[in-house]
Amino acid sequence: MKFLKIDMASATVSSTEVPQDYVGLGGRGLTSLMINSEVPAKCDPLGPENKLIIAPGYLSGTALVNSSRLSIGAKSPLTGGIKESNVGGTVAADLAHLGITAIIVEGQASAGTCFLLKIDANGNGELLDGAAYKGMRTYELVKKLKEAHGEKNSITCIGPAGEFLLTAASIQTTDADGRPCRAAGRGGLGAVMGSKGLKAVIVAKGGKAAAPLSDADTFKESAKIYAKAVRDDAGTPALSELGSAVLVAPINAVGAFPTRNARQGQFEDVEKITGETMAEIIKKRGGKNEHMGCAQCVIRCSNEYVDADGNYVTSSLEYETIWSMGGMLGNSDLDSIARLDFLCDDIGLDTISTGVAIAVAMDAGYKAFGDARAAIEMVEEVAKGTEFGKIIGNGPGAVGAHFNHERVPVIKNQSMAAYDPRAIQGMAVTYATTPMGGDHTAGWVVAENLEEFGGTLDRFSAEGQVEASRKSQIHMAAVDTIGMCDFAQSGFGAGLSNVCKMIAAKSGKPFSEEDWTALGTRILKAERQFNRNAGFTNKDDRLPRMFYEEPLPPHNKVVVISDEEMDKTFDF
Amino acid sequence: MKVKVRLYGTLGKKFPDHDPLNGFEVEIPQDATVGDLLERLDIAKSKIGIVSVQGRLAKAGKTLKQGDFIRIFRPIFGG
């Protein structure tokens, strides 16, 4: 197993054995520990001292289901702190199959130059001139790169937004069908990639050099148990048929669906954009539900959305995008939401940050809520590189500053996601305290907060929320280290010990449940340390005033987690 | 008395007359509770996430009225 080091200034690639300190790590564990150790916390995120680290999970490349998750780490130009951005598709499995533990992109190409990184079937890397691809949108880019390099590659790339160094720029990667529709969206890492002069990474599929497993038989047995737990889970069929959009109706029902820049918690037209409605439309028009977007997936939560004539619009239309371009904008037109999803993938923008940026513009009176055409025009302006397009592409914080508008739902300058913290207090803790900024997957405590049937916490009370968020954040840091898909966490239903067995069976070293918690804790400590060194204090672990002062209809609550309690989240 | 029920996610699949977008009508005794309705529909407890009556979340003990609109959601997980 090896590291590929890419020196952009000299345009050279070298390969080293994985240093002892990083053996046994992958994904977010690897990227966060490396960024904390090797990147000066006060550096310019768009300068030569930042590093872009691309790492498959520790269990990526094995036969374990749903294990093709990639972590991309760097100092974020959006938050000014550490960032791990996570994405599926096939590239994590592809890299692991080539025996590559991480790609470390360092330095900066000379001004005006643009490169492609090609990794061939032997796992050797080479920088190629990318001038011909400068400025290309991702769908066109992928088409051209396939013509030049063949079909049997995954492509991980930036669009114009990353080349313009915009802080809501994503890194896109190809799904199982070869479309650049999977996004490492959060944190502006597309801008970091752009600042280094790297346009795309082409990775050969079908490698046979995955790390050997220390105990292949034990691994196989545990992997089977894990896969069965995912397949048998009551949630899997719903995810399969309706996608992550299955969340629209229930989150709206509990009044936690931020609507019109989080002025309300319920959208009166939600029925037009639920997962149920989307699935029916897709079925009727001949699109695809139960689509496999990522390697080795047994859930198939992806979809292919088509227009009224049956033509492809986008894949996969997710809960977060239906929220950010739908409810958050007061927009109930699913066709325009799908179009906005495609535009963001094509231009290389985070759909969450971009939707919220548009929401702030609408809230400031720039355009009316519900004006889908205006939303589409704003996103197209980003690609055109206009002054206002750059503001939108820099996210909601930039839009708020431009209009001098107070209601900007960002934490550490990264926008909130599709759960209002006033209606689910546990999410207030996660948004405020995760080192990642406004991030929902970092510590998703939504289910535990629905007391009515099943959850143990009162979602309007502070009680138990800090503990729940802390536990979830620690757990997720470890999940992100092994490269497991969030939706396949149902596999943990067969026991954490079963997962620990797989880690031990690969590494050849003992790995207990205590080690799992210690791993997550270690990662969070490193991330917190980086942020402190970058200048963050506990004042940055707070939500914007609107969440403490504006009661959210229909339940009319505010965030009730005190500053003191927030500060107890990382009491380790 | 008759109430209208809409089952979300894949909960409605086992009922042939359940319209995925509009739900169906269910006949239940006067003064039946949400819990009674769930038993009547024979939906396993583990499959139920939340229930709302007339748009507000409801617990099992809530008494239903003629014409109530009940939505039943499955447990949720995700991102």
Beta bridge partners of A125: A119
Residue type, A314: T
Confidence of residue B79 (pLDDT cuts 50, 70, 90): very low
Cβ pair B10:A242 closer than 8 A: yes
A183: Cβ contacts below 8 Å, ≥ 6 apart = A87, A170, A171, A172, A173, A344, A345, A350, A351
Query: Chain B interface residues facing chain A, Cβ-Cβ under 8 Å?
Result: 8-10, 20-21, 45-52, 55, 57-60, 71, 73-79
| Radius of gyration of chain A from its Cα atoms, rounded to whole angstroms | 22
Residue type, B13: K
Greatest C-alpha distance within chain A: 62
Cβ pair B71:A441 closer than 8 A: no
Cβ pair A242:B9 closer than 8 A: yes
Residue of A280, A452, A460, A490 to mutate, interface with B, max B Cβ within 10 Å: A452
- pLDDT for res A207: 97
Mean pLDDT of successive 10-residue stretches along chain A, which has 572 residues: 97 96 97 98 98 98 98 98 98 98 97 95 98 98 98 98 98 98 98 98 97 98 97 86 91 94 97 94 97 98 98 98 98 98 98 98 98 98 97 98 98 98 98 98 91 74 97 98 96 95 98 98 98 98 98 97 98 86
CA dihedral A401, A402, A405, A409 (to 10 degrees): -50
- Please report, for residues A275, A441, B36, B54, the alpha-carbon distance to residue B22 in angstroms, rounded to integers and kept in the order given: 14, 32, 21, 14
Confidence of residue B78 (pLDDT cuts 50, 70, 90): low
CA gap A33, A13 in Å, rounded: 22
Condensed to tens digits (0 to 9), the pLDDT of residues B43-52 reads: 776 666 678 8
Q: Cβ(A543)–Cβ(A432) under 8 Å?
A: yes
Strand, helix or coil at A557?
Answer: strand
- pLDDT for res B47: 67
Confidence of residue B14 (pLDDT cuts 50, 70, 90): confident
Taking alpha carbons only, the member of A497, A498, A445 closest to residue A474 is A445
CA gap A335, A77 in Å, rounded: 32
CA gap A218, A221 in Å, rounded: 5
Contacts of A479 in chain B (CB under 8 A): none
ipTM of the complex: 0.71
- pLDDT for res A544: 98
Contacts of A446 in chain B (CB under 8 A): 76, 78
Q: Which helix (H) or strand (E) holds A410?
A: strand A410-411
Chain A nearest CA to B69, separation (Å): 13
Confidence of residue B60 (pLDDT cuts 50, 70, 90): confident
- pLDDT for res B76: 67
When CB atoms are compared, the residue of A242, A276, A453 closest to B49 is A453
Chain B nearest CA to A472, separation (Å): 13
Angle between helices A513-533 and A27-38 (to 10 degrees): 40
CA gap A168, A2 in Å, rounded: 31
